[in-house]
Amino acid sequence: MTNWIQLFRNHFLCVVMLFLLAFGFSASATFAQQSAATKAPTVSRDPAEPLTGTPHPKILPRPAGAIARASVNEKSMSALIHELVGCGTRLTLSSWTDPKRGAGCGRDKVVARFNEIAKDSGGRLQVVVDKFESTSARTADKPIPLENVYAILPGSDEKLAKTIILVSGHFDSRPTNVMDPEADAPGADDDGSGVAVSVECARLLSKAGANRRGTYRATILFAAVSGEEQGLLGSTHLVDWLKQQGYTVGGMLDDDIVGADTAPGAPHRVRLFSGNGEIDDADSPSRELARAVEEIDGRRAIRLIFRVDRYGRGGDHYPFYKAGLPGVRFTEPLEDYIHQHQTPRTENGVEYGDYEKYLSFTFMGDVARDNAEALRQLALAPATPTGAKLTGAVTPDAKVSWSAEDDPERAGFEILWRETSEPRWQVYDFQTATGEMILKGVSTDNHFFAVRSVGKNGARSIAAPTEMERRPPPLPTAPKQ
């Protein structure tokens, strides 16, 4: 009998314990639900797309007073190239002292033209001849003398005058053998055209400044460099020179082979090359400069090419790009290799040589206008924001933050975004103050973001893309097999 009672008692206790356990669990679950309901509701999933109710910011119009195409002087561009070609060769290894033939002859023609323009600028444009030495495999590893020519238009804003926007062409040329200082090397397109564009930009912009129709907040530099064909020696030196002078590079436009337009059909867009950079999930300053130029000059004028240069080739924007500075390259739509880097000759009925007769001044004039307008708007713009950052990972809102120095001429900031696969930015919103903007219901994962400054005059800085707050943790290394 005792066994029966014990069995019953044990069974009863088991049932009670089970009941208590079940009741306890459900009670604690209820409690958990209640506590969640009393807290602020948190959304723990990505926002739905497509987004509804995105802001429609007021977009300030671009600065008035655009450079008119009709104001470009094609004749003076043509005259300068004719004089440069008349130097016979402008190979950097040729004479720097002979006024009739060689690199020194080329330098003299550029200096003379800049001096004429400076006279018309009311004394604002300053002409500088920068002499230096450099060495490369293409100087037979021996130091050689080089000279760059600069015309500088100082900025009117005390702070921004230390930011420099520059345009450059190279006045050196080359025959087939890059070590031969005797052979003819007319270099009308490569790169008489780029030099003519740089010099014409100086004329267009310094004249406007002298007439008080426009002064530029940042400093503008118009360069004609040497040593390009010997291994980008002049532009490499220019990066250092600007640093020594205490300038921050706000943008570098390299014009190299911009004089011919043999592409059949239209529109005849100049190509604009820009490198990706090496930052995860954010494009390089060069890419941002290219986007800015396309926005200023329009898609019908500019063909963006998202690579640092033509495949396997280089140019003077490269030392800027490699230094993390915004540097891009303009080049004509279709190149003709028979008229580049060739000692003039006729072989099997084919005429080789970089002559003036293959140039199009209609096209080159367009390129000059587009460069000048890009320089103008960039030099009128407030400084690019710094420290742009994206936070808000694993939340339904993106948070974009940035900083910028005080600037009474700045209207505010445009917060930009784009699909990760889209090449161009769009304006998401506008904010007058520096700091942070919360983009409600915008995924941090499905878009890229940037911020740019907007002046009261409507000029935009180049965009500063946000860098991620932190990098994802490194992937576990695969076990060895």
- Binding site residues, Zn ion, CB under 5 A: 190-191, 256
444 burial (CB, 10 Å; 0-12 / 13-18 / 19+) is buried
**How far out from the chain centre does Cα 315 lie?**
15
The neighbour count for residue 44, using CB atoms within 10 Å, is 8
Nearer to Zn ion, 88 or 315 (CB): 315
What is the spatial distance between Cα 171 and Cα 190, in angstroms, rounded to a whole number?
8
Closest approach, Cβ 191 to Zn ion, in A, equals 4
Comparison of 7 and 334: residue with beta carbon closer to Zn ion: 334
Q: Which two tokens stand for residue 153?
A: 């238009």
Shortest distance in whole angstroms from residue 232 CB to Zn ion: 10
Minimum CB distance to Zn ion, residue 173 (Å): 8
Nearest approach in angstroms of CB 422 to Zn ion is 32
Instruction: Return d(Cα 287, Cα 272) in angstroms, integer.
Output: 10
Return the number of the residue (330 or 417) whose C-beta is nearest Zn ion: 330
DSSP E strands in 420-469: the ranges are: 426-431, 435-439, 447-455, 464-465, 467-468
Nearest approach, Cβ of residue 287 and Zn ion (Å): 22
Closer Cβ to Zn ion, 256 or 309, answer by number: 256
* Dihedral Cα 34, 36, 38, 39, nearest 10 deg: 170
Give DSSP secondary structure letters for 100-129.
SSSHHHHHHHHHHHHHHHHHHTTT--EEEE
Supply the minimum distance, in Å, between the C-beta of residue 335 and Zn ion. Answer: 10
Inter-residue contact 336 to 257 (CB < 8 Å)? no
CB of 190 to Zn ion, least distance (A): 4
> Which CB, 190 or 332, lies closer to Zn ion?
190
Spatial distance between the Cα atoms of 193 and 200, rounded to a whole number of angstroms: 10
Alpha-carbon span 57 to 356, nearest angstrom: 49
Q: How far is the CB of 355 from Zn ion (least distance, A)?
A: 15
Residue nearer to Zn ion on the CB measure, 169 or 455: 169
Residue nearer to Zn ion on the CB measure, 190 or 283? 190
| Beta strands 302-305; 270-273: pairing state | parallel
